[in-house]
């Protein structure tokens, strides 16, 4: 079982204002979106029975084998004095995020998760655009960001101790994996603390100086991104597809795909690595 008090003691006092661990729920994203409230809430579920992935997919976690959690952000607002004097002082230099920067939040989450996983397990985690976390080309983690008004909730699901024979196939035939299947035994408490610490660091930098920090985030994301330099097929909304070489990430976090000298900026879609 995850230790709510140990996690709370390790991370609260900066961005994170509360940590709640529940035995089971349908979707931690849905719960936080419905509840609203102050920025910095963390909701963790030992079991998630109706989790959602990108493109309307479902994601169900085996009790105690995964790390499933969501965080609530209010990136377009100034710090709330009601959060407490210590929190307000820590965030005194924060500025509201411009709406066009919201696409960076799930990518920021991907960087935080990949860094946290690598530090905790020693495994070289990489990213498939926009925010799947991979180990040696296999999917370890999915991330879903949802917005309602000025609230953004980001949900993260990581296969920690899931047995290899219980792992599902991912979209486009992408194989799934878990830390246990890769030979790493990592306490979920320690992994969560590491990811939340990384997230708070990058999010605080983005809020303090959105323009320069976005540039730094681009560089860090690109360094972790296994999609860049690959020939890809992007499955776009309405059944359209785009193929070409993934050549970069633009200032809004969109994937740049180049084919026959023409570069297209992709804001949403499923990417399949072809070679």
**Of the candidate ranges 56-65, 66-75, 130-139, 161-170, the one whose mean pLDDT is the lowest:** 56-65
**Omega within 30 of 0 (cis) for the link into 123:** no
Residue 60: predicted pLDDT: 56
Residue 113: predicted pLDDT: 98
Task: Write out the H or E segment, with its range, that includes residue 217.
Answer: helix 210-224
Rounded Cα distance between 6 and 8, Å, is: 5
- Give the residue range(s) of CATH 3.30.930.10 domains in the chain: 4-223
Give the pairing type, strands 18-22 and 41-45.
parallel
Give the confidence band of 134 by pLDDT, cuts at 50, 70, 90: very high
CB neighbours of 39 closer than 8 A, spacing ≥ 6?
A: 15, 17, 72, 73, 74, 77, 79, 80, 83
Whether the CB-CB separation of 124 and 134 falls below 8 Å is answered with no
- Give the residue range(s) of CATH 2.30.30.100 domains in the chain: 227-273
Is the whole-model pTM more than 0.85? Answer: yes
Task: Please name the fold of domain 4-223.
Answer: BirA Bifunctional Protein; domain 2 (3.30.930)
Rounded Cα distance between 177 and 175, Å, is: 7
Percentage of the chain beyond pLDDT 70 is: 89
In tens, the pLDDT along 107-117 reads 999 999 999 99
In tens, the pLDDT along 80-116 reads 655 555 555 667 788 888 888 888 899 999 999 999 9
Arch. (CATH architecture) of 227-273: Roll (2.30)
In the numeric block, which tokens belong to residue 146? 């949802």
């Amino acid at each position: 079982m995850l230790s709510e008090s140990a996690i709370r003691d390790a991370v609260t006092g900066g961005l994170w204002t509360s940590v709640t661990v529940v035995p089971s729920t349908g979707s931690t994203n849905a719960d936080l979106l419905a509840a609203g409230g102050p920025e910095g809430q963390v909701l963790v579920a030992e079991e998630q029975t109706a989790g959602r992935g990108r493109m309307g997919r479902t994601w169900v976690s085996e009790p105690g084998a995964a790390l499933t959690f969501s965080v609530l952000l209010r990136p377009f607002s100034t710090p709330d004095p009601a959060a407490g004097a210590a929190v307000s002082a820590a965030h005194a230099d924060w500025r509201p995020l411009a709406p066009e920067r919201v696409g960076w939040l799930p990518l920021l989450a991907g960087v935080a998760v990949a860094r946290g996983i690598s530090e905790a397990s020693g495994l070289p985690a990489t990213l498939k655009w926009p925010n799947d976390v991979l180990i040696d080309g296999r999917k370890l983690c999915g991330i879903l960001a949802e917005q309602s008004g000025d609230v953004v909730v980001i949900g993260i699901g990581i296969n920690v101790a899931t047995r290899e024979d219980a792992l599902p196939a991912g979209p486009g035939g992408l194989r799934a994996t878990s830390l246990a299947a890769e030979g790493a035994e990592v306490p979920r408490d320690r992994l969560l603390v590491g990811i939340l610490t990384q997230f708070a660091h990058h999010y605080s930098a983005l809020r303090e100086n959105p323009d320069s920090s976005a540039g730094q985030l681009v560089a860090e994301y690109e360094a972790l991104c296994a999609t860049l330099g690959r020939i890809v097929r992007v499955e776009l909304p309405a059944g359209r597809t785009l193929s070409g070489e993934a050549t970069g990430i633009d200032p809004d976090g969109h994937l740049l795909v180049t084919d026959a000298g023409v570069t297209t900026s992709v804001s949403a879609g499923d990417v399949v690595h072809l070679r």
